[in-house]
Structure 1
Amino acid sequence: MIQNKNIANFGVTIIQARHSIRNFKDTPIPEEIIRKVLDCAKSAPSARNIQPWIFGTITDQTLRSQIADLTTHGKFIAEAPVCFAVFGERDQEYVLEDCCAATENILIALTGYGIGSCWVAGEGKEYAEPIRKLLGVPEKYKLISLIAAGEAKTEGFVLAKKKLLTDITFKDRYSNE
């Protein structure tokens, strides 16, 4: 149990504050923050501690535009100052789960730094292989996710309405009652 409730409350606040941002200022993200975010990504749990991932950071405008053009729902990647790309080893049994945990760590770390982000699907998408090739990633890896990141264009936001906890949880056994 966490002894310092301030740390626990801070973590909960960060998680609950995270929301998708799709409009970015062109302000670059400092390299030190990018490194710390990647350090958080590599700290994600993975089955048997295999850590089947590699992480790319795409800051080159031309590459981000090419990635955006390839995606079906990630056109905003072109205007984000950075795009994180999460790749996982194809032959690992829990690669999707492991790399999604790392993706979530990236999103939460970015929120902690006050940086907006949006998760764009990669795994199983028709553009996954073309993006892998575009970035020169070895064939043993597959694209799991893309994360557009940067300073939000607008100040303030409205959090998406979330379902009530009572509507989405059960204890011990599910019941329609």
Structure 2
Amino acid sequence: MDAYEALLARRSIRRFTADDVSEEHERLLVEAAFAAPSSMNARPWHFVVVRDEARRARLADLHRWSGLLRRSPLVVAVLGRADAVAWVEDCAAATENLLTAATALGLGACWVGIFENGPAPHADEVACLDVLGATPERWRALCLIGVGHPAEQKPPRSQFQPTKLSFELVGRHRRPAAG
């Protein structure tokens, strides 16, 4: 599968088989995340790979959307340095790279958001950092990514919306005449 196909085929997969994710696939996923663009090449991210069942269960109990982590054989936490100016943007780019790489490798993955916009971490984020052995003074938690072999298949779909594309000015949905 080429990169463009993987981008369009990527879907959020929330159900996984019991099959383990190989260490080779784990390495490729994280390597793809590290290849993301970063503002001023700050690279403020840190990835925590979690395979331990008890730790995954603690992460799964953080809030109502994180339950799928209990059933995913691999969880990747995406953390950003709290003092970095563009940590959210940089970590989001790394997360998308990891999600797309999972699709290209035939794996399923789902992004579970932890971060809520604000100057200080909220209770769920602080709890997440605690489970991972990180401190909120140094780190912020963007998301947790559940990864595994998909137990569900979702077909690729186009999400292109021409009404959300403008040319030269907002609301101009046709290309201006060449001239």
Say whether the fold is shared (TM-score over 0.5): yes
List runs of 5+ in structure 2 lacking aligned partners.
117-121, 174-179
**2:119 maps to what in 1?**
none
What does 1:114-129 correspond to in 2, within 5 Å?
Answer: 114-124=106-116, 126-129=123-126
CA distance in 1, matches of 2:33, 2:78: 9
Equivalent residue number for residue 76 of structure 1: 68
Amino acid at match of 2:167: K
Aligned counterpart, 1:133: 130
C-alpha deviation, 1:72, in angstroms:
2.3
Structure 1 match to 2:50: 58
Question: Separation in 2 of the partners of 1:117 and 1:150?
Answer: 7
Residue in structure 1 matched with residue 168 of structure 2 by the alignment = 172
Matches of 1:121 and 1:46, distance apart in 2: 20
TM-score, normalization by structure 1 = 0.88
Counterpart Cα distance in 2 of 1:18 and 1:58 = 22
- Match of 2:61, SS? helix
Q: Which residue of 2 aligns with 1:152?
A: 150
- The one of 9, 13, 18 aligned to 1:17: 9
Mapping for residues 102-117 of structure 1, pairs under 5 Å? 102-117=94-109
Deviation at 1:168, TM superposition (A): 1.4
**Structure 1: unaligned runs, 5 residues or longer:** 1-8
- Aligned partner of residue 22 in structure 1, secondary structure: coil
Query: Aligned equivalents of 1:176 and 1:46: distance in 2?
Result: 31
Match of 2:20 among 28, 52, 67: 28
What's the CA shift for 1:26?
1.4
Alignment RMSD, CA only?
Answer: 1.7
Could you list the per-position Cα deviations for residues 57-109 of structure 1 after superposition, in whole angstroms to 9, with x for gaps in the alignment?
11111111110111221101100000110000011110100000010011011
- Cα displacement string for residues 15-65 of structure 1 (whole angstroms, at most 9, x for unaligned residues): 000000011111110011101111111111111101001001111111111
> 2:9·2:157 contact (CA, 8 Å) conserved in 1?
no
How far did residue 174 of structure 1 move?
Answer: 1.3
- Compare 138-147 and 84-93 and name the one that shifted more: 138-147
Paired with 1:95 and 1:34, the residues of 2 have a C-alpha distance of 23
SS in 2 for 1:143: strand
- Cα distance between partner residues in 1 of 2:167 and 2:156: 27
Aligned residues: 167
Q: Which amino acid aligns with 1:110?
A: A
User: What is the Cα deviation at residue 123 of structure 1?
Assistant: 1.1
3-state DSSP class of the match of 1:127?
helix
Q: Deviation of residue 161 (structure 1)?
A: 6.6
Runs of 4+ in 1 over 3 A off after TM superposition: 158-161
Indicate the residue corresponding to 1:4 in structure 2.
Answer: none
Check 1:75–1:161 CA distance in 2 against 1; reply closer, same or farther (3 A cut).
farther
User: In structure 2, what is the Cα distance between the partners aligned to 1:42 and 1:106?
Assistant: 9
TM-score by length of 2: 0.87
